Structure 1
Amino acid sequence: MKYLIQRVAFGFFLVTILFTSFGAPSTTGWTLVAMAQETDDPVKIEVYTRFVNNRKTNEAAAHQAAKEYLQKYPKDNDQYTQYLQKWIVIYERDERKRTLPQLVYNAKNFAGAYSVGKQILADEPDYLPALIHLGYAGYLAMTTAKNELFSADAQAYANRAIQSIEAGKSPPSWLPFKGKDDTLAQLYYTVGFLSLRSAPDRAIEPLIKATQFDTDLKKSPSLYYYLAAAYESGPYKTMAAAYQTTFAGKEETAQSKLALEKLNVIIDRMIDAYARAVAAAGNDPANAQTKSQWSNKLAEFYKFRHQGSDVGLNDLIAGALAKPLPPKP
């Protein structure tokens, strides 16, 4: 009698699962299903019952029970084991989505995050939260762990996220950022920051874009320092070397004059960015050392452009943040 009750109960649970998950079968279908699933195996009944009881209230426990069921009965290939297999796939897909931000922002397990993220995007290539998290993770990996392994992937993900957001798409939540503008600013900043070492010229435009949103990042001195560094190690370095090779020590010509004018435009952009960095650093003791370094750089280039004089430099710094940021030449 005990096993008869268990068989009936087990059949009922299976019918309930099918009804709620795949649509309502016919009444005849219910009867056939219940009869087909009668079993004297108490373990089978217990494991499946545990799955059913936890399916809506404790998905982790239900997942464990479903995996256990399939491991214990690998030769079963009926509609119920097929249902469990599908349920596990859906659960694990959703669990990866829940896990990804924890890996990035809490555990800072970047290798794990990119592994999980790639699985998410294999299922849903345009899943915006994953693109955002994986884009920003490259910046965090560099700044918290000096890990450059994910920089190229992070730039690609960040650019895809930017394109999606600017096309009108939104994630279910903007966290950990404060909203759309903050997310875009941070992603542009990430692309610029991660481009600095390998392609400084390409870092300029995304760094400029990062300043165009009214966010806390716009007040960050590091943003303007990185912009100055991008100009300096990118176009300035290339153009200064070319000028030295081609025109240094020779009589001025129309060609050399034009080359110097173009070089001076870049120097002026560097002066502007360094002035903004110094101004944004303010009197914060945390910025004291870097502010001193930036001030020295600023004075060097400013004097070069003003015949050795620093007259007007303090006024430039005082008004730097109030002026529109000039575009890339």
Structure 2
Amino acid sequence: MKMVKKLALSSLLLLMVAAGTALKVQAQETDDPVKIDIYKKFYDNRNNNQAVAYVAAQDYLKRYAKDKDQYVDYLQKWISFYERDERKRMLPGLINEKNFAEAYKVGAKILADEPDYLRAQIDLGYAGYLSASSSNEAYNADALGYARKAIQAIEGGKVPTEWAPFKGKEDTLAYLYYAVGFLTLKTAPEQAIDSLLKAAQLESDIKKTASTYFFLAAAYEAGPYKRLSADFQTRFANKEESVESKAALEKINVVIDRMIDGYARAIATAGNDPKTEASRKTWMTNLTSYYKFRHAGADTGLTEFIASVLSKPLPPKPV
């Protein structure tokens, strides 16, 4: 006579935690050795080897979900929590691999479960900059939303589960403001100025990054300089100088001075870094042009200005 393997499943799990509530399991015997083995595999690995436990739990449900008992209910909840935590573990890796499409899918699921999960908001906010700087702007709008929510939360006193890969609160905020500045540079350059100024004033590596100041100069150029110059042409072109035209021109000059400052800081911060050599040439061309415009066609003092610019406070946005 063939022996039938019997085992009370409850002996494998006397106390289960489901959705935060302790659930006592009543004894339940089964004559199905496969059912017992699969559940035992799950139980034995549920703490120290959850990937194996996850596969076992899925196998159990694939075979026995129709039972609709407390074991099925528990495994369904366990799988749900496991997948939630696994998504959190996956997200940084997807971003590091530049798999932005999958990162934003996973991130959306994380935030659907936990709308205020700050770590994901930070990661997805900065990931938008990484994606856009690689010529993929598909996630700009989502990234801006996440970055702004993260900034608001951090400035409101919230703390993520960990600051890494950033160095702390100020470093995280600097990178987020930098991302917002970069992502709004084309569509809202005047807003980009505000974000980039904040990024540059926080104690962070962003403060020592040449592109911060180049983007700031570019934002002034694409924003207030373009707007004020167009207005000046419309109102005062081919007309005699007046009090109003002089005042309008002075506003343009103030913005040009901010552009000069930004380009000079970018060049000074870059130093002799070979990675920025091509950019420095372009920045120097732009800087020289604007500097000469403001100094009667001469570049006298420009070298000294660049050498000393980082010792001066970053000028505020003109009113």
Instruction: Give the structure-1-normalised TM-score.
Output: 0.92
Q: 1:80 aligns with which of 63, 71, 82?
A: 71
Whole-angstrom distance in 1 between the partners of 2:10 and 2:150: 47
Residues 267-278 of structure 1: matches in 2 within 5 Å?
Answer: 267-278=256-267
Residues 108-123 of structure 1: matches in 2 within 5 Å?
Answer: 108-123=98-113
- Check the 8 A contact 2:292/2:299 in 1, yes or no: yes
Whole-angstrom distance in 2 between the partners of 1:18 and 1:184: 38
For residues 86-118 of structure 1, the C-alpha deviation after alignment (integer angstroms, 9 at most, x for no partner) is 11111111111111111111x211010100101
For residues 273-298 of structure 1, the C-alpha deviation after alignment (integer angstroms, 9 at most, x for no partner) is 11111111212222222111111111
Say how many residue pairs are matched. Answer: 316
For residues 283-317 of structure 1, the C-alpha deviation after alignment (integer angstroms, 9 at most, x for no partner) is 22222221111111111111111111212212211
- Check the 8 A contact 2:15/2:22 in 1, yes or no: no
Letter in 2 for 1:23: A
- Check the 8 A contact 2:125/2:145 in 1, yes or no: yes
1:70 alignment counterpart: 61
Task: Look up the SS of the partner of 2:253 in the other structure.
Answer: helix
Whole-angstrom distance in 1 between the partners of 2:180 and 2:208: 18
Letter in 2 for 1:124: E
Letter in 2 for 1:110: F
Letter in 2 for 1:115: K
Deviation at 1:14, TM superposition (A): 3.9
Deviation at 1:47, TM superposition (A): 0.8
1:258 counterpart = 2:259: no
Whole-angstrom distance in 2 between the partners of 1:103 and 1:286: 26
Q: 2:117 aligns with which of 127, 136, 141?
A: 127
Q: 1:136 aligns with which of 98, 118, 126?
A: 126
1:47 alignment counterpart: 38
Whole-angstrom distance in 2 between the partners of 1:250 and 1:24: 85
Instruction: Give the structure-2-normalised TM-score.
Output: 0.95
Q: 2:227 aligns with which of 238, 241, 246?
A: 238
- Check the 8 A contact 2:16/2:23 in 1, yes or no: no
1:289 alignment counterpart: 278
Deviation at 1:74, TM superposition (A): 2.4
Whole-angstrom distance in 2 between the partners of 1:232 and 1:51: 62
For residues 201-225 of structure 1, the C-alpha deviation after alignment (integer angstroms, 9 at most, x for no partner) is 1110100111111222211111100
Task: Look up the SS of the partner of 2:281 in the other structure.
Answer: helix
Deviation at 1:22, TM superposition (A): 4.2
Task: Look up the SS of the partner of 1:251 in the other structure.
Answer: coil
Letter in 1 for 2:131: A
Task: Look up the SS of the partner of 1:325 in the other structure.
Answer: coil
Whole-angstrom distance in 1 between the partners of 2:4 and 2:13: 16
- Check the 8 A contact 1:14/1:80 in 2, yes or no: no
Residues 137-216 of structure 1: matches in 2 within 5 Å?
Answer: 137-143=127-133, 145-216=134-205
Letter in 1 for 2:47: K
Q: Which moved more, 1:224-233 or 1:214-223?
A: 214-223
Deviation at 1:3, TM superposition (A): 3.2
Letter in 2 for 1:12: S
Letter in 2 for 1:87: W
- Check the 8 A contact 1:158/1:187 in 2, yes or no: yes
How many percent of aligned residue pairs carry the same amino acid? 57
For residues 158-211 of structure 1, the C-alpha deviation after alignment (integer angstroms, 9 at most, x for no partner) is 111111111111112111112221111111000001111111111101001111
Whole-angstrom distance in 1 between the partners of 2:266 and 2:221: 14
Letter in 1 for 2:271: G
1:13 counterpart = 2:12: yes
Whole-angstrom distance in 1 between the partners of 2:257 and 2:151: 29
1:104 counterpart = 2:95: yes
- Check the 8 A contact 2:15/2:23 in 1, yes or no: no
Q: 1:135 to 1:18 in 2, by over 3 A?
A: closer
Unmatched runs of 5 consecutive residues or more in structure 1: none
Letter in 1 for 2:186: R
1:93 counterpart = 2:92: no
